[in-house]
Chains A and B, each alone.
Chain A
Amino acid sequence: MYKPLTKNIVSVLVLNKANVLARVVGMFGQRGFNIDSLTVSATNDPTISRITIVFDARATSMQQIITQTEKLEVVKSVTVLTRENGLYRDMLLMKVQARPEDRQAIKNIVDIYRGRIVDLSRDSLIVELTGTPNKINGFIDVMADYNIQEVCRTGITAIEVAENIGEGDRDD
C-alpha cells in the first residue's frame, strides 16, 4: 500500500503530441527511477498535457531526474509537488462480493467514506471513491473484511494550490 506523500511527486507540463508520454516515461526508466503511479491528460489548453508522476528518489537524484526531464524538447515545465503546495486526488473502483445480507453494511462504510455504489448485481457491487490517497488506503483497509474481487486505482493526480495553507493531503 503506498503512502504517496512520503514519495516524490512531479507535475510535468508537456506538448500534447504523439510519443510525448514515452519520452518522459523513458527518461525516468533510463535514469533508473521506478514510477509508482502516473496520470496523464490534456489540460484546458488542448496543446498541453499534464503528466503527474509519483516515484521514489533521494534528494540528489531528484534534482537529476528533474533537470534531465526539463531538457526534453517536449517538456514545458516540471514542478515538484510537496505536502504544502499540492492537492492530491486518487480514484478507486472496487468490485466486492456482496450477498444481499451484506449490502447494507457495505453501503454504510461507503457512505462514511463518501463513496458511491455505481453498480449492483446479484452477489457483488462496485464502489466508486475519490479522495486523497490516504483516504483510499483507509477504505481498502476497512473493506478487507469483505471479499474484494477487483481493485482499480487511477493513481495520483495533483495540482498546485494557490496558497500554502494547510496540508496537501487535506481531505475532500
Chain B
Amino acid sequence: MKLTGSQIVAEVLLEHGVDVVFGYPGGTALNIYDELYKYSDRIRHVRTADEQGASYAADGYARATGKTGVMMSTSGPGATNLVTGLATSYMDSIPVVAITSNVPDSLIGKDSFQEISITNVTMPITKHNFFVNRIEDLADCLRKAFQIAQSGRRGPVLVDITKDVTAASTEYQHQEPLPLKEKPVISEEDARKAAKMINDAERPVVYAGGGVIASGAEELLRELCRKADIPVVHTLMACGVLPSDDPLCLGMVGMHGSIAANRAVDHADLVIALGARFSDRVALNPQKFARRARILQVDVDKSEVDKNVQVDMAVVGDDKSFLEKVTPLVDGAKHTEWHERVLNWETKHRYPEDPDASLHPSEIMKIISDYTDSDTYYVTDVGQHQMWAAQYINHRSANHFITSGGLGTMGFGYGAAIGAKIGKPEEQVVMITGDGSFNMDLNEVITAIREKLPIVTVLLNNNVLGMVYQWQTIFYDKRYSTTINDNGIDYLKVAEGFGAKGYRCSTPEEFDAAFKEAQNSDVPVWIECLISPEERVLPMIPGGKTVDDMIIN
C-alpha cells in the first residue's frame, strides 16, 4: 500500500495505540495536520496554548498512564518551544515521543524561514533523535522512537521530518510495535548476595526513587519492607511509593525531607537504593551520605552506578525484577530497636508556620487530602508549594504525584495536569501551584476550557517567588532581588476572562468550602489561597551540608 509520509505518521501512531497527541500546527506541519484532520476519529489532537504546554501535557499524560506521550510541532520556534518539556522528561525518565516537522530538504542548511536543527538542539536532552529526510526511513525511525522511549530507563525521543517527506509517498505495511529492548538480567548470585546484605543488616533502610514507580514495583516493595521490617525513605519522584500514613514510611529524604528520613539514612547500617540516583538534592554531601551504611544500589541504568555516591554493591536491573528475585530470599525479620529509634525521630513534624497568618500551607494540603482519594492525581508546579505538597499531601498511591523533579520546571503544572486529565478522564486532577509558576502556565487554561477539562487548581499566592525569596531571606540578608510579585493581579477576574471560575480564600474554612464546591465544577477552577510570604519550607538542609546542619525553624 502506498501512503504519504503524513499518512505514515498517523498509521505508525495507530500501530502504537496512540489515540491522543498534544501539539500545535504550523507551516511545515501542514501536511501532517491535514492528515490528522482525516484521522480525527481515531487520533485526538489536543491543541495547547503553546508548544511548551504540549510538551508538558505529553509528559503528564505519560506519567499518569505509563504510556508514551506524543507531542507534535512545526519547525523552528514550534520545535524549540518543546525543548524545556523534553528536558523535563529527560531528567525524570518519562517516555515521550516528539514529532517535529522541518523545512523541505532542499531548504535545509540555508537559514530558511523557521528552520532550526532541532536534532542538534535536543541532542543532550533526548535519549535519541532522528532526522528524517528520506521517506523510506520514516516508518522505521518512528517505530524505533517508540521502542527507545519505553526501553530500559525510559525517556524522550524526537523525530524531525522534513516537509517534503511528509508529502512524498512510499510503500507502507502495518507492523506490530518493536519489542522493547531486553532488560539486564539479574543473576542468581547477585540476588543471593543482595539478600544476604539485607539479612545481615540490623539497621536497614530502603531509599526508593522514581525507578520503583517506573517499573511498577511499589507492591513488591511494600511486601519486602513488611516482611523484613525495613523502613522506607523516598525521593520526590517516589512520593506515594508507600502510603504516607504507613508506619514504615518515613517520608521524603533530602534537602526538604523529613527529620526521620534524613536521620534514618544517616544512622542506617544498610541503605538499599532502589531506582534512585543520589542526586545533589538528596545526597547533599555525597561523601557523608549514609556514612555509617553499606549501600546496595539497584538501577536499570548502569551509568547510575557510582555516579554520585560510591556504593558497596550494585545490581544493574529494574526494581521489579530485583524485588521478585530477592524478596523470597530475604528472611522475615523484626528490627524492633531500630524501628523504635526511627519512629522517635519525628516523621511528620508540624513545622513552625507564620503565627500571624490565617491560612497555612499544611492546612491547605490537609483539606485537599481530606476531599480526595487514592485515585486522585496531584500535579504540581515548582517551588515552595511543590515541597509542601510533597510533605503534607496524604499520598495514598504510587504514580499519582506528578511533579517536575530533576529539572524543576516552573510552569510545568498546568500542561501536565491537562495531560493527566486526558489520560485519566475518570479521575480527579488537582493542580497545586504558586503565583510564580501559575503566571508562567495559566494560559493553558485555554486548552482546559476548549477540551472541557474541569481541573481544580489550588493557587498558593504569597505574592513572592517563594522558594527564591526563602533563600534570599536565609542566605542573602533579605535582599529580595526581583522576587516580589506586587502586580496586584485579580485572579478572579482573570478566571472570568478565560471562562473559568475563580475563588479566593484566606482561612481554612473558606478554603474547605471553596474546594468542596470546586470539585463539582464542570469548568476549570482555581482557588486562590492567600498565604504569608514568610512561610518557609522546612526542614531544610543547605546544599553540600548534612543532616547535622538541618534548619528546623
Do chains A and B interact in one complex? yes
Given contacts A19-B119, A22-B123, contact A68 B303 (CB under 8 A): yes
Given contacts A26-B123, A73-B127, contact A64 B302 (CB under 8 A): no
Can you list 27 pairs linking A and B with CB atoms under 8 Å apart? A18-B131, A19-B119, A19-B120, A19-B123, A22-B120, A22-B123, A23-B123, A27-B124, A30-B124, A60-B306, A60-B310, A63-B305, A63-B306, A64-B303, A64-B306, A64-B307, A67-B302, A67-B303, A67-B305, A70-B303, A71-B127, A71-B301, A71-B303, A72-B128, A73-B127, A73-B148, A74-B128
B153 CB → nearest A CB, Å? 8
- Taken together as a complex, chains A and B put the C-alpha atoms of A73 and B123 apart, in Å, by 12
Q: Write out the residue numbers on chain B whose beta carbons fall within 8 Å of the beta carbon of A71.
A: 127, 301-303
Q: Write out the residue numbers on chain B whose beta carbons fall within 8 Å of the beta carbon of A23.
A: 123
- Taken together as a complex, chains A and B put the C-alpha atoms of A159 and B413 apart, in Å, by 51
Given contacts A19-B131, A26-B123, contact A70 B310 (CB under 8 A): no
Q: Write out the residue numbers on chain A whose beta carbons fall within 8 Å of the beta carbon of B124.
A: 26-27, 30
Q: Which residue of chain B has the shortest Cβ distance to A29 in the bound complex? A: B124
**Looking at the complex, which one of A26, A63, A68, A73 makes contact with B128 (CB distance below 8 Å)?**
A73
User: Could you give, for residues 123-135 of chain B, a 1 whenever the CB lies within 8 Å of some chain A CB and a 0 otherwise?
Assistant: 1100110010000
- Taken together as a complex, chains A and B put the C-alpha atoms of A27 and B120 apart, in Å, by 12
Interface residues on chain A, number (Cβ under 8 Å): 17
Q: Which of B489-542 contact A (CB under 8 A)?
A: none
User: Could you give, for residues 287-310 of chain B, a 1 whenever the CB lies within 8 Å of some chain A CB and a 0 otherwise?
Assistant: 000000000000001110111001
Cross-chain pair count, CB within 8 angstroms = 34
Name B's A-contacting residues (CB within 8 A).
119-120, 123-124, 127-128, 131, 148, 301-303, 305-307, 310
B108 CB → nearest A CB, Å? 11
Q: Which residue of chain A has the shortest Cβ distance to B144 in the bound complex? A: A73
Q: Which of A136-150 contact B (CB under 8 A)?
A: none
- Taken together as a complex, chains A and B put the C-alpha atoms of A169 and B446 apart, in Å, by 67
Q: Write out the residue numbers on chain A whose beta carbons fall within 8 Å of the beta carbon of B307.
A: 64
Q: Which of B123, B128, B303 has the most CB of A within 10 A?
A: B303
Q: Which of A1-48 contact B (CB under 8 A)?
A: 18-19, 22-23, 26-27, 30
B533 CB → nearest A CB, Å? 37
- Taken together as a complex, chains A and B put the C-alpha atoms of A63 and B304 apart, in Å, by 10
Name A's B-contacting residues (CB within 8 A).
18-19, 22-23, 26-27, 30, 60, 63-64, 67-68, 70-74
B284 CB → nearest A CB, Å? 19
- Taken together as a complex, chains A and B put the C-alpha atoms of A26 and B125 apart, in Å, by 11
A72 CB → nearest B CB, Å? 8
Q: Which residue of chain B has the shortest Cβ distance to A66 in the bound complex? A: B303
- Taken together as a complex, chains A and B put the C-alpha atoms of A101 and B416 apart, in Å, by 78
- The 10 residue pairs across chains A and B that have the minimum distance between CB atoms: A67-B303, A73-B128, A68-B303, A67-B302, A30-B124, A26-B123, A64-B307, A71-B303, A23-B123, A60-B306
Q: Which residue of chain A has the shortest Cβ distance to B127 in the bound complex? A: A73
B231 CB → nearest A CB, Å? 30
- Taken together as a complex, chains A and B put the C-alpha atoms of A124 and B103 apart, in Å, by 50
Q: Write out the residue numbers on chain A whose beta carbons fall within 8 Å of the beta carbon of B306.
A: 60, 63-64
- Taken together as a complex, chains A and B put the C-alpha atoms of A23 and B120 apart, in Å, by 9
* Other A-B pairs, 10, CB within 8 Å; known A64-B306, A70-B302: A19-B119, A23-B123, A26-B124, A60-B306, A63-B306, A67-B302, A71-B127, A71-B303, A73-B148, A74-B128
A16 CB → nearest B CB, Å? 15
- Taken together as a complex, chains A and B put the C-alpha atoms of A121 and B131 apart, in Å, by 48
B304 CB → nearest A CB, Å? 8
B496 CB → nearest A CB, Å? 46
Q: Which of A19, A26, A74 has the most CB of B within 10 A?
A: A19
Q: Which residue of chain B has the shortest Cβ distance to A65 in the bound complex? A: B303
Q: Which residue of chain B has the shortest Cβ distance to A23 in the bound complex? A: B123
Q: Write out the residue numbers on chain A whose beta carbons fall within 8 Å of the beta carbon of B305.
A: 63, 67
Q: Write out the residue numbers on chain A whose beta carbons fall within 8 Å of the beta carbon of B119.
A: 19
Q: Which residue of chain A has the shortest Cβ distance to B157 in the bound complex? A: A73
- Taken together as a complex, chains A and B put the C-alpha atoms of A22 and B128 apart, in Å, by 12
